[in-house]
Amino acid sequence: MTSLKNLYMKYLSLILSIFLWSSVSLTAAEGNTKTETFKVYGNCGMCKRTIEKAASAIQGVKSADWNMETDMMTVTYNTMVVTLDDIKKGIAASGYDTDTVRATDESYSKLHGCCQYDRPKS
């Protein structure tokens, strides 16, 4: 009986340790989450899908939402995994200029005709 009780206590201790460790890890990850808003130039619903897809594909990005009316992008990301500049570079690589990172002429020219927005002066 004592052996069974010892085994039960070890099992319970292991379960509690795992639970505690996962709680601490989750809290630490949430502490590194940041939400930022910045300008991304575009025109239409197709732009919205492409811009949000480009941002969301970057490891560490938790959410991405581009507002067509205001050209403002809101991203939530893990600062331990990715920087805001990396996110902007990923969006620019898909052909869209941001407030601080300009897409290459080559990537911009690959955009569908309706998505070729009036580019800001460099």
- What is the C-alpha to C-alpha distance for residues 120 and 89, in angstroms, rounded to an integer? 16
Model-level pTM?
0.75
- What is the C-alpha to C-alpha distance for residues 88 and 8, in angstroms, rounded to an integer? 52
Residue type present at position 118: D
Question: pLDDT tens digits, residue range 12-56?
Answer: 565 645 544 544 444 445 679 999 999 999 999 999 999 999 999
